[in-house]
Structure 1
Amino acid sequence: MAVSIRLLLPVLLLLLFPLIYTMSILHERWNPKDMKKLSPKKPNQLVLEPAAGQGLPNRIQCQGTEALNRIYPSSKNSNSEDKVSFVTVFTIYKSDPTNEKMLDRVTVGEISYNTKSERSLAILNTYINFIQVSMPSSNVVVLTDPDSTFLLDQNNAIKFPIEGDYSRSNLMLQRIKSYIAYLKRILKSYEMEKANKNIIFSDSDIAVVDNLGDIFQKYHDFHVALTFRNNKNQPLNSGFIAVRGTQDGIRKAKVLLEEVLDIYISKYMGASCMLGDQLALYWVIKLHLPSAIQKFNQHESFTGYVKGVSVLFLPCAIYNWTPPEGAGQFHGMPLDVKIVHFKGSTKRLMLESWNFYNSTSNMSNMLCLILCSGRTKYDF
């Protein structure tokens, strides 16, 4: 038996040598920092899946990227009452190794984006483009740092410089301050202009896909409109605040936002830079209108008074619908959706959606594109 083992040993070594040699080479070359390079890359193109919500009432029904039951209203139906000033806060941060390093090139259609600044500006321009299509009588006001050098090439958009601290960690706090400063400027010029457009303060990573002017026509007795969702910790979304463009409406909106600013500074300066304003807004509503809280799990609009300000609460599902990030169950897109809010890994989808609309001129089909691809994450 011992002799047979001695005879087999050289054969076994001969057979195992290639495996042992390969493992030793891999061990020498292995570096934990390189593991990310070995990870499969996220897709660099849209990956379409079956549209969620098929067969459910009041949800968009799609066949591929073709919408079967939503007809996009013609802009010819718009009238002078639909004119709205969309106001957003935007800045491009100064170049540094973190913010402006060359990243993997992102290509959407025939356009490539190499830096975060290029991508951010592309999102802003897409935001303006969607407003131009859905509400052609409206304009966009970009509140920004006076030192900002980015250019806007759309006729319906202007830069409005306001002094402040627009650093990343302070941006949400500065956003409220900029909103208040803008309202003060509007109030000063109101008497000279005799009339003012209604105002919608919003994030710039949204696509307006339907006429929002009907908010001011359908609901007559509000000064400020907010959107709510069934979220215990953050039921109010500060990314959409509508203000009636009367002198009283503008003044009341300033009063509400000034209290939100005071609460932010006194209670939530330690919160994440992207959460403080929403937490402060919720605190103000909870303090002055506690009856609103139990209605946030419903899907119907309602009105209440906060320090003499008439506040209209609108369901996020229609006025701030967000494509989910990553795989997960959700109930599709409401048939009457008016805003699609792109966040995090879905921001690239905003550019893809505009590229698709630009090539088809069909807003309803574009919504099916979003619905079919909203569960896919992208590097952006």
Structure 2
Amino acid sequence: MKSCSGWRRFLICLPIIFFLPFMFSVLELHENSYIEKLPKNHGNKFNHLVLGPAAGQGLHDRLQCQGLKPLNKTHLPNMSGVPDFKETVSFLTVFTIYNTSVSAHVEDRSTDMVTVGNALYNKIERSMAVLNGFINFIQVSMPQSNIIILTDPASNFSIHKKRVTVFPIQGEYSRDRLMLQRIKSYIAFLTTRLEELSQGKDEIHHYIFTDSDIAVVDDLGHIFYNYPKFHLALTFRNNKNQPLNSGFIAVRGTSDGILRAKSFLQEVLDIYKSKFMKASRMLGDQLALAWLVKSHLSFEAKRFTKSQVFLEDIGGTSVLFLPCSLYNWTPPEGAGQFHGMPLDVKVVHFKGSRKRLMLESWNFYNSSASVGISDMLCLILMSGRTKYDF
């Protein structure tokens, strides 16, 4: 075969020169990935764990993995760097199940079934598995913390684990009003806590309100120790319309902290009901949070563009802003730009169909004594672009 020579042949070969690197990168992706062909009815979602290259390779401030082993990070539980921090941190989440009970659906296992590992789940069992995963991760990373499940009194389920309590709060827990009810439940709980403090129960309990589809992978007690002046903490990201995520809200457990946090959340609730009820099923609370924060003239929205902790007075409430990249990190789903997992991530948020990845991650961590948190984070990182069937 004759080699390309001269301008004409050079121009003919030029597209091939540019195409070769792309072709090799695709081959490398297939070499390093495990992707099975799925039935057509699954669309573009997978019903098993899919691993690909770990994003963020070569970036100094991102987790580097070789297979499922971390190269630049040792992530140990209970190593918050605050050895003398003795105050209790409690996690709270709003959780309910529909159709009254788990037992009512034990027989109906033929519809909408999902297999994760060796377990088979229907919709309700899936929700319970995610809740148990939420509890399990906290009890590994912060074993001395309490977990409180805020729920509908009519919701029939039970949790048999140490340091876990179910706290019924009357309200409207329908799917269309759940995000609205979540804020109401937070306010109701804080009201109860204020009453207890007024009766002389002065032991300090700090509170972190979260979604139930998160994994706490490091001790969060340092938030209250290192930033002693905040009343309420929120997580932010560089997103113009939705810069604040409501899936993580921390409240200092002093009387002043609880009172001001309660007043702040009441204002969010009022804004929610007056301006964003059309988004009551989803996002309304986040839109209300952003509206309240941005409405203060002294606030500079450009601070959301930098992943740095900062403190701001919002109507008399001292609000600590924590970057989502560390305290509310979400694995990207599907295609898109993705720069990997930041070092020292504290909380991983498995939104949407990523809940399969949450259960798979816990199963992997629990599979062997030799598997650590960092190994599990590599598993999450290598699965971060995949859409699953949850």
Q: Per the shorter chain, which TM-score range?
A: 0.7 to 0.9
Partner of 2:305: 297
Q: 1:118 aligns with which of 108, 112, 125?
A: 125
Is 1:316 the equivalent of 2:324? yes
* Correspondence 1:45-194 to 2 at 5 A: 45-75=48-78, 80-81=85-86, 83-94=88-99, 102-113=110-121, 115-190=122-197, 191-194=199-202
d(CA) in 1 for partners of 2:123 and 2:166?
20
Contact 1:75 1:134 in 2 (8 A): yes
d(CA) in 1 for partners of 2:67 and 2:112?
30
Partner of 1:372: 382
What CA deviation, in whole Å up to 9, does each residue of 1:234-273 have, x standing for no partner? 0000111001111110001001000001101111111251
Partner of 1:263: 271
Deviation, structure 1 residue 288: 2.1
d(CA) in 1 for partners of 2:87 and 2:196?
21
Deviation, structure 1 residue 279: 0.6
Deviation, structure 1 residue 287: 1.1
Deviation, structure 1 residue 233: 0.7
Look up the SS of the partner of 1:201 in the other structure: strand
The one-letter code sitting in structure 2 at the alignment partner of 1:328 is G
d(CA) in 1 for partners of 2:316 and 2:389?
45
Deviation, structure 1 residue 68: 1.3
Partner of 1:250: 258
Deviates more, 1:150-159 or 1:87-96: 87-96
The two structures have a TM-score, normalised by structure 1, of 0.86
Contact 1:205 1:341 in 2 (8 A): yes
Inter-CA distance 324–82: structure 2 relative to 1 (3 Å threshold): farther
RMSD: 2.1
* Correspondence 1:18-37 to 2 at 5 A: none
Q: 2:46 aligns with which of 43, 48, 66?
A: 43
Contact 1:50 1:372 in 2 (8 A): yes
Partner of 1:17: none
d(CA) in 1 for partners of 2:340 and 2:97?
34
Partner of 1:19: none
Partner of 2:6: none
Contact 1:82 1:211 in 2 (8 A): no
Deviation, structure 1 residue 69: 1.4
Deviation, structure 1 residue 362: 0.7
Deviation, structure 1 residue 359: 1.0
What CA deviation, in whole Å up to 9, does each residue of 1:156-196 have, x standing for no partner? 21100000000000000000000000000000111432123
The one-letter code sitting in structure 1 at the alignment partner of 2:97 is I
Contact 1:146 1:161 in 2 (8 A): yes
d(CA) in 1 for partners of 2:164 and 2:63?
31
Look up the SS of the partner of 1:359 in the other structure: coil
Look up the SS of the partner of 1:296 in the other structure: helix
Deviation, structure 1 residue 106: 2.0
Contact 2:113 2:123 in 1 (8 A): no
Look up the SS of the partner of 1:158 in the other structure: strand
d(CA) in 1 for partners of 2:84 and 2:48?
39
Number of equivalences: 343
Contact 2:85 2:221 in 1 (8 A): no
The one-letter code sitting in structure 1 at the alignment partner of 2:332 is P
Look up the SS of the partner of 1:240 in the other structure: strand
Partner of 2:240: 232
d(CA) in 2 for partners of 1:322 and 1:253?
25
The two structures have a TM-score, normalised by structure 2, of 0.84
Deviation, structure 1 residue 101: 7.8
d(CA) in 1 for partners of 2:300 and 2:111?
45
Quick check: which has more Rg, 1 or 2? Answer: 1
* Correspondence 1:186-205 to 2 at 5 A: 186-190=193-197, 191-205=199-213
Name stretches of at least 5 consecutive residues in structure 1 with no aligned partner. 1-35
d(CA) in 2 for partners of 1:175 and 1:39?
34
Deviation, structure 1 residue 209: 0.3
d(CA) in 1 for partners of 2:160 and 2:298?
45
What CA deviation, in whole Å up to 9, does each residue of 1:21-75 have, x standing for no partner? xxxxxxxxxxxxxxx9744664332111010001101111100111111112343
d(CA) in 2 for partners of 1:298 and 1:162?
38
